[in-house]
Amino acid sequence: MSADQTPRVHRLNSTLANQIAAGEVVERPASILKELLENSLDAGATRITIHLEGGGVDLLSVEDDGVGIFPADLALALERHATSKVATWEDLQAIHTMGFRGEALPAIASVSRLEIVSRAHGQKQATRLQVTGGATGAPEPSARAPGTTVRVADLFFNVPARRKFLRSASAELSRNQKVLRQIALANFPVAFQLFQNGRALVQLPAALDADSRAQRVASIMGEGFLANALYIEQEDQGLSLSGWLGLPTYNRARGDEQYFYVNSRSVRDPVITHALRASYNDVLFQDRHPLYVLYLKLPPERVDVNVHPAKAEVRFRDSREIHDFLFHTLRRVIAEQGGAHPQVTVPVQPLSPAPAVQSSGSRAYQHPTQRPLSAVQDGSGAYWERLVAPAMTFVSTPDMPAAPPQELAPDYPLGQALAQVHARFILAQNRAGMILIDQHAAHERILYEKMKVAVQQNDKQVFIIPEYLHVTATQMACFEAKQNALQAAGLEISVAGPGTLAIHAAPKAIAAATYGQIVADLLAEEPTWTEKDSDAALADMACRAAIKTSRRLSLEEMNSLLRQLEATPRFGQCNHGRPTVVQFSLPDLDRLFLRGR
């Protein structure tokens, strides 16, 4: 290449520079909606109305009742890096507003037909300014109430390569609705409306008290979420965490209903994600995802929001402090409250009545083994006292006066055991209604929590005579690979000879005689956990040591299990995240039998 052909450095014109910036700021209509909504919120709006056509591709309009823009500032607002929100380096270090760069409006205007109509409070009339593909027209008077309207039409009309990558109108509408949900959950005092092609899709009135805020959350997340969530408020050393934390048993296959806000800004951050996931570590089923709406507040100078083009990520000054605060707070809440209320309910639908069958006689059919309750009561005293009588606690007959409620149902969250179902479930009665408990899952959680405490306190049972275990070559190889992990889980095991292992000590929660089979089973399955995953190893051991689904239990054993479960953290789920307890309310049972109709 000759010297004459060498490209020379030159300054880009403003339109081309804005179009380049639009590549980062303007991805699709939803990203435009996010920027415009944030501008309205920064302007102090209390009512925002959105109009869409074609999913926001043909038209996207945002109207607000904020402070408005003065006529002299309107043209300047469409220039790059022109903003009213920061003025000094100190302002940038402690950002209080949603926007601050002054890039969004000029970037949007460079790839669309944009119109702004704004009237500042105290002004007699509004001012309109139109921009077509970056070319700004002359301001002209207009009529409008105080506030601002921004209309974005024909998105990417001058960049066809970008426009063809947009999806269908319904898909773009769905993305816009998600942005609105994110914004609405963080700005309760603001009313929102969304129209698509003139049809109202979303109507969210301002939520100024606790009840109306909960109602907004329910309208966005669903009534089921609110019924299966814990409201929390925690503060520590300048950090504040509040919001709704979904119970582990109320989960989804995808993590698309997780909303986390830092100083009212919806963000993604690996520190936050890890802390939240770790909080649900041993109470969430396999690859399921929890639901939550949580708000973290901290001084603005302790977080940097100027690290992502779309301001979707943040960097904390002390990420370890944030992680530990979130993890320990949420872990404690799940342990103390998540299992204390068996809120996993099963809606009961009444069975369709069977068709009537005509018979020649009037006597109802009775199975040969069926007997009236009175016959059972008179003829089988022990059976009646242990199994049937507790179930009759709220039945009053002339022959059996009702007992006082306090004698029938002590104030235990899980109530009193009544019977065992198929040697698998425990049937119990509490004040709310009826409870089914998975006996294996419940015992598994009890053992797991006890083993964790034993390992943390180094509380071991030392075997005077080691428990010897004969293993295969494959199991021996697995032991050599997992020896450190087993030791971290409280097991002291050594090689006693060819094909033989000796167990010298183990956590106290499980009977010594069972450890041989437990270790053999673990080594046979070649577990994937490492020494850093000692909790996973303990969970596997607890699962194998827990009572099996075929084990028949006496009433005393069942009630003992319930009392232990009530005293166990996170008792609502087993170690693998499956529910241990299901509550049937009395209204559910009434509906089953069509009572009250």
One DSSP character per residue, 252-305 reads: ESSS-SEEEEETTEE-B-HHHHHHHHHHTTTTS-TT-EE-EEEEEE--GGGEE-
Tokens of 212: 């109306």
Return the sign of the alpha-carbon dihedral for residues 586, 587, 591, 594.
Answer: positive
314: left (phi over 0), alpha (psi -120 to 50) or beta: beta
Cα separation, 209 vs 439, in Å, equals 42
Structure tokens of 39?
Answer: 């501008």
Tell me: domain 210-338, CATH 3.30.230.10, correct?
A: yes
**d(C-alpha 58, C-alpha 275), whole Å:** 41
pLDDT tens per residue, the chain (597 residues)?
555 666 766 666 666 555 555 555 688 999 999 999 999 999 999 999 999 999 999 999 999 999 999 998 888 888 877 776 666 766 666 677 776 667 788 889 989 999 999 999 989 999 999 999 888 899 999 999 999 999 999 999 988 888 888 889 999 999 999 999 999 999 999 999 999 999 999 999 999 999 999 999 999 998 889 988 999 999 998 999 999 999 887 888 888 899 999 999 898 888 999 999 989 887 887 678 899 999 999 998 898 887 766 667 788 989 999 999 999 999 888 887 655 555 444 444 444 443 443 333 333 333 333 333 333 333 344 443 444 444 444 433 344 444 344 444 467 889 999 999 999 999 999 988 999 999 999 999 999 999 999 999 999 999 999 999 998 888 898 898 888 889 989 999 999 999 899 999 999 888 888 888 889 888 888 777 777 778 888 888 998 899 988 899 999 999 999 999 998 888 888 887 788 999 898 988 888 888 877
Residue 157 burial (10 A CB sphere; 0-12, 13-18, 19+): middle
Q: What are phi and psi of 226, to 5 degrees?
A: -65, -35
Comparing C-alpha atoms, which of 322, 339, 369 is closest to residue 583?
Answer: 339
Residue ranges of the chain that CATH labels 3.30.1540.20? 414-597
- The 10 Å CB-count burial string (b at 16+, else e) for 347-373 is eeeeeeeeeeeeeeeeeeeeeeeeeee
Nearest in space to 112 (alpha carbons), one of 53, 41, 163, 47: 163
pTM of the model: 0.72
Tokens read off for 266 = 């919806």
CATH class belonging to 14-204:
alpha beta
Range(s) within the chain of domains with CATH label 3.30.565.10:
14-204
3-state SS class at 457: coil
Query: Domain 414-597 adopts which CATH fold?
Result: formyl-coa transferase, domain 3 (3.30.1540)
- Bridge partners (DSSP) listed for residue 583: 345, 435
Q: Provide the 10 A C-beta neighbour count for residue 569.
A: 19
